[in-house]
Amino acid sequence: MEPISFQTNPSKYRHWRIEKEGQVFRVFMQVDPEHPLRDGYDLKLNSYDLGVDIELADIVRRLRFEHPEIATLVISSGHSQVFCAGANINMLGSSTHAWKVNFCKFTNETRCELEDWAAQADVRTLCAITGPCAGGGYELALACDEIWLVDDGNSAVSLPETPLLGVLPGTGGLTRLVDKRKMRRDRADVFCTVAEGFKGKRALRWGAVDAISPKSKFWDSVGERIEKLVSERSGRAGRKGISLGPIPVVIDDDERRYSSLTVTYQREQRIAELTVKVPAHASSPSSSEEIHALGDDFWPLRFARELEDAILDLRVNHPGTGLVLLRSEGNLDDLIAWDQILLDCRGDWLIDQTIELLCHVFQRLERSSCSFFALIEEGSCFGGSLLELAFTCDRIYILDKEGVEIARNPFNEGLLPMTSGITRSACRLIGEPELEESLQGDFDRKNAIAAEEAGLVTEALDEIDFEDTVRISVEERASLSPDSLTGMEANLRFTGPENLKSKIFGRLSAWQNWIFIRPNATGPNGALTLYGKPERPQFEWDRV
């Protein structure tokens, strides 16, 4: 099977049409049914698969960096009969469980990035629905700030997965309905079990949409709303974006090499080594003007994009990898200096979006179904932002040797929050609040023993014990059930309070994935298996 690439650009889009009008960016969902990501199904009625969402993710990313002048984003359909029929049913029915899991996770992340970008950049997002809008189509609408529905007796919004397929909305629909839109849970219960969904006035009255308008006035009304939203967001028209070029990568046997990191796969051992390489700071830019001139070659931005590509490749193309060993190479002074550039230039839109992207990518790593161990050794440079990357890992081993040090900075105090919205330090030390409080503002370098005493690493090991302890830990991890490890990691990584995003990933995604392997959904007589056929599904009625 050919590996999946997550890289694309507007010249390659098959499923989306984009238009820019001043400070308004319009995205039209216009799925080409004859170009699914894999053979075996047609993408009829604007239904989508991973390939469609890869393009949408690219659109959101380019909005982040190439169009900082945008004040309003409008998402609508380019199909004359339907807004979106949701995820393609034949694709789901024919996919492996692992494929469905990664598909749901990626589409979740795309919608979360849309929300995060819009909030951080103060861009108002509006979804204009004409025609039926079901399942994943409505979930995309729910990721927008406002939902407008044409009141024509035909157009409707729905989450029909439970009555039609025996599964659940897989990209956060249920959670956004009640947590974000604040629909009453009893009304949401009705909505999610009515296959045809809600139209017009009922959709508005129950909170499924924000506005309705008759067909004859719909686009005029939407246009008036767009003008108002743009007028409320002045002062950005003169911003100039940067171009995002392709991400160069060299693939050689079991090695994947980028400019800022290398991933080496040991397939028989089910292990990968991910080594981040921090460049010298001597040639780094010293001002925001120089950073803008560098564009996508600015090292922190380049690193974030390359790390994300490596994580997505790991998830989809190397599902047998159970453990990743995270290492770094470089000088700690250089890493701290790169961080300081970002800190000094905060308030510049490009710097702010680069930090937001680092946050998004680090969250992708902590949501990946794989074990991660960080190894801090001679020649490592885990400080600040890169130390935060180490904090995403399940364990951190540090070599107790002169010269091996780590250092915190403001990046470890809230600039790169977890999926759940808290700092990783607060998550690690939730049972030791006094220790967490004592770390605030403490940016002194720490050797191995001091790092262990501060709760920043799992174990500090001398030269005699380090190699053997790491080797035994790696061998042990590789021998354990991947299913139990996924469950264990998902629980242990997210200690503490929840937010909308952590509910979507930790709660909804987990149950969605469990339901996908139950016979009531995907068994020979399951609802998803028999969808579109004359036979009725046969359910096992025991609650489990």
In a shared domain, residues 31 and 167: yes
Residue 515 lies in a domain: no
Does residue 254 share a domain with residue 227?
no
- pLDDT value of position 118: 97
Query: Which pLDDT score is estimated for 511?
Result: 78
Is residue 390 assigned to a domain? yes
302 shares its domain with 388: yes
Give the type of residue at 286: S
> In this structure, is residue 534 part of a structural domain?
no
Whether residue 109 is found in the same domain as residue 206: yes
Looking at the structure, do residues 271 and 226 belong to the same domain, yes or no?
no
543 belongs to a structural domain: no
Burial 502-520 (b: 16+ CB within 10 A, else e): bbbbbebbeebbebbebeb
Dihedral, 146, 147, 149, 155 alpha carbons, nearest 10: 170
Domain-embedded: residue 521: no
The predicted pLDDT at position 171 comes to 86
Q: Are residues 223 and 271 in the same domain?
A: no
- The reply to whether 219 falls in a domain is yes
Whole-model pTM?
Answer: 0.96
Residues of the chain with pLDDT under 70: none
Q: Are residues 68 and 19 in the same domain?
A: yes
| Nearest residue to 137 (alpha-carbon basis) of 219, 78, 94 | 78
pLDDT (tens digit per residue) in 394-425: 999 999 999 999 999 999 999 999 999 999 99
Residue 513 lies in a domain: no
Q: CA-to-CA distance for 167 and 523, rounded, in angstroms?
A: 12
pLDDT of residue 513: 80
Domain check: are 275 and 221 in the same one? no
Rounded-to-integer distance, Cα 432 and Cα 451, Å: 15
Domain shared by 312 and 215, yes or no: no
Instruction: Sort 34 into a burial class: Cβ within 10 Å, 0-12 / 13-18 / 19+.
Output: exposed
Q: How many domains, the chain?
A: 2
Q: Are residues 303 and 404 in the same domain?
A: yes
DSSP, residue by residue, 65-76:
HH-TT--EEEEE
Beta strand 211-214 with 146-151 is: parallel
- What is the reported pLDDT for 366? 96
End-to-end CA distance of the chain: 36
Residues 6+ apart with CB under 8 A from 107: 50, 53, 87, 136, 139, 170, 171
DSSP annotation of 330: S
Statement to judge: residues 217 and 314 lie in one domain: no
Cα dist from 125 to 67, 136, 159, 225, whole Å: 14, 17, 21, 11
- The residue out of 198, 231, 264 marking a domain boundary is 231
Q: To the nearest 10°, the Cα dihedral for 458, 462, 467, 473?
A: -30
The whole-number pLDDT of residue 283 equals 75
CA–CA–CA angle 491, 453, 492 (5° rounding): 0
> Which residues lie below 8 Å from residue 506, measured CB to CB, with a gap of 6+?
419, 490, 494, 498
Specify the pLDDT at position 284. Answer: 80
Task: Indicate the SS3 state at residue 48.
Answer: strand
Which residue is it, tokens 């919608």?
Answer: 111
Distance CA 171, CA 513 (A): 11
Give the pLDDT score at 489: 93
**Complete DSSP assignment for 224-284:** HHHHHHHHTS-S-TT-----------EEETTEEE-SSEEEEEEGGGTEEEEEEEPPPSTTS
Contacts of 322 (CB under 8 A, 6+ apart): 270, 271, 370, 371, 477, 478, 482, 485
Query: Domain for residue 544, yes or no?
Result: no
**pLDDT value, residue 487:** 87
Q: Which residues contact 150 (CB under 8 A, 6 or more apart)?
A: 128, 129, 130, 212, 213, 214, 215, 218
Range of the domain at 104: 10-231
Q: Return the CATH number at 43.
A: 3.90.226.10
Longest dimension (CA), the chain: 78
**Do residues 313 and 197 share a domain?**
no
What is the per-residue pLDDT across 325-361, written as a single tens digit (0 to 9) for each?
999 999 999 999 999 999 999 999 999 999 999 999 9
